[in-house]
């Protein structure tokens, strides 16, 4: 079959590879679409995952084979079904898995990250992660369910630390796909204000079109624009989410959290990035700083939210390109062009 392969740091090519065979508990999916995201850039940069690898962890397609031990009592997917697939590979045996923190698994892996993924005609994944889609969901668009499931987990983390988004003022850094998904989710959850900051004017326009309360190229600009519906001047935002991964945005965001508020690291920063904190303020204002990592028991809910129209796929997906164009497509994502780019094998 044809597949995009990241062969080494900074090197990606489309080439012929053997067709994958399922393990006993796996599913083989004929891929309809795979999204490219920031994580793929980190894999290409050699910071995450194991090379060589076929990237592609955000995908949907049609089931063409099931492993011999897949139990029809517990796995709904059948050959011919249209599915979106949770790419998580947990061990279910380590200390963290046994404490119910599977996404922090000590042997954590992901299809398209540590194992070959879906930038290929066929992909293998655990059958338990294949979620059957309702007929009205366009199959290609369902590649957005994985990023949505990461956002659902982020919202779970916020609920745990801050009581959730209802009635809160929220500031999102980064109006890429994830920032836009988080913006829509925060609105749906009842946030009073969802402000969005990005340096890219086109992305800000998209955030505004999706209903962001206010948009600007810096949070300082938003504060100076007071009084408005946005977070009252000087008080900060109850919830600040970084969906950019950029150190300057992260530092700014940590400093914008309101008293009693929560900062959530969602964007994937470089492992060597550093930001400073103000311990006195964290103490005296009870600031929470936390993070959310990938998917945790959130994929089914994301699939249901997606089927219910919680995010606007027609706005989020900017490009659909053939597999042969993968190298150019990932270069475009690296350059910040477009929103979600779908690769169609």
Contacting range for Zn ion; rule: CB under 5 A; set: 48-56, 80-88, 99-107, 228-236: 99-107
Among 41, 48, 60, 97, binds Zn ion (CB under 5 A): 97
Token pair 């397609």 in the structure block, residue: 61
Residue (141 or 195) nearer to Zn ion, CB: 141
Count of residues in the chain: 345
Whole-number Å distance between alpha carbons of 280 and 44: 39
Q: At 281, is the secondary structure helix, strand, or coil?
A: helix
**Which positions from 9 to 48 touch Zn ion by CB under 5 A, shown as an x/- string?**
----------------------------x-x---------
Task: Read off the DSSP letter of residue 112.
Answer: T
Query: Rule CB under 5 A: is residue 180 a binding residue for Zn ion?
Result: no
7, 15, 34, 42: which one is catalytic? 42
34, 39, 177, 262: which one is catalytic? 39
Query: Rule CB under 5 A: is residue 321 a binding residue for Zn ion?
Result: no
Q: Which of 188, 167, 190 is nearest to 301 (CA)?
A: 188
**Which positions from 57 to 76 touch Zn ion by CB under 5 A, shown as an x/- string?**
-x------------------
Query: Rule CB under 5 A: is residue 113 a binding residue for Zn ion?
Result: no
Least Å distance between CB 93 and Zn ion? 6
> Does the active-site annotation cover 42?
yes
Q: Is the dihedral of CA 71, 72, 78, 84 positive or negative?
A: negative
Query: Rule CB under 5 A: is residue 105 a binding residue for Zn ion?
Result: yes
Least Å distance between CB 92 and Zn ion? 6
CA 9 to chain centre: 22
- Both tokens of 230, joined, read 């946005």
Contacting range for Zn ion; rule: CB under 5 A; set: 96-104, 132-140, 215-223, 306-314: 96-104
Contacting range for Zn ion; rule: CB under 5 A; set: 41-49, 51-59, 122-130, 229-237: 51-59
Query: Rule CB under 5 A: is residue 310 a binding residue for Zn ion?
Result: no
Among 17, 94, 331, 334, binds Zn ion (CB under 5 A): 94
Query: Rule CB under 5 A: is residue 330 a binding residue for Zn ion?
Result: no
β strands within the chain, DSSP E? 2-8, 11-16, 26-36, 58-66, 82-85, 88-89, 109-110, 122-126, 130-132, 169-173, 193-197, 214-216, 237-242, 257-265, 288-291, 317-322, 340-344
For residue 215, give every residue at least 6 positions away whose Cβ sits within 8 Å of its Cβ, in sequence order, or none.
175, 195, 196, 197, 198, 204, 205, 207, 208
Query: Which sequence positions are flagged as catalytic?
Result: 39, 42
Instruction: List contacts with Zn ion (CB under 5 A).
Output: 37, 39, 58, 91, 94, 97, 105
């Amino acid at each position: 079959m044809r597949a995009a392969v990241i062969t080494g740091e900074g090197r990606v090519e489309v080439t012929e590879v053997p067709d994958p065979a399922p393990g006993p508990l796996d599913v083989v999916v004929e891929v309809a679409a795979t999204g490219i995201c920031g994580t793929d850039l980190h894999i290409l940069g050699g910071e995450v995952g194991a090379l060589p690898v076929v990237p592609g962890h955000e995908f949907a397609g049609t089931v063409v084979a099931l492993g011999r031990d897949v139990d029809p009592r517990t796995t709904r997917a059948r050959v011919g079904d249209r599915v979106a697939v949770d790419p998580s590979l947990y061990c279910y045996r380590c200390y963290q898995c046994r404490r119910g923190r599977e996404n922090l698994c000590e042997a954590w892996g992901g299809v398209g990250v540590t194992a070959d993924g879906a930038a290929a005609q066929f992909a293998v994944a655990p059958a338990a992660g294949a979620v059957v889609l309702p007929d009205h969901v366009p199959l290609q668009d369902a590649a957005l369910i994985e990023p949505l499931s990461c956002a659902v987990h982020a919202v779970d983390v916020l609920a745990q630390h801050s009581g959730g988004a209802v009635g809160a003022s929220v500031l999102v850094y980064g109006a890429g796909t994830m920032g836009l998904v988080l913006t829509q989710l925060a609105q749906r959850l009842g946030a009073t204000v969802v402000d969005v900051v990005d340096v890219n004017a086109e992305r800000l326009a998209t955030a505004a079109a999706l209903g962001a309360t206010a948009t600007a190229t810096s949070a300082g600009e938003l504060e100076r624009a007071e009084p408005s519906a946005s977070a009252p001047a000087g008080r900060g935002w109850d919830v600040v989410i970084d969906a950019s991964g950029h150190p300057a945005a992260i530092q700014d965001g940590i400093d914008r959290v309101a008293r009693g508020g929560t900062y959530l690291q969602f964007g994937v920063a470089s492992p060597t990035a550093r930001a400073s904190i103000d311990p006195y303020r964290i103490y005296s204002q009870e600031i929470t700083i936390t993070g959310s990592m990938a998917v945790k028991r959130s994929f089914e809910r994301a699939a249901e939210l997606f089927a219910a129209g919680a995010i606007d796929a027609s706005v989020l997906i900017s490009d659909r390109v053939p597999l042969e164009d993968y190298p150019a497509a990932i270069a475009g994502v690296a350059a910040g062009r477009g929103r979600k780019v779908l690769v169609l094998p």
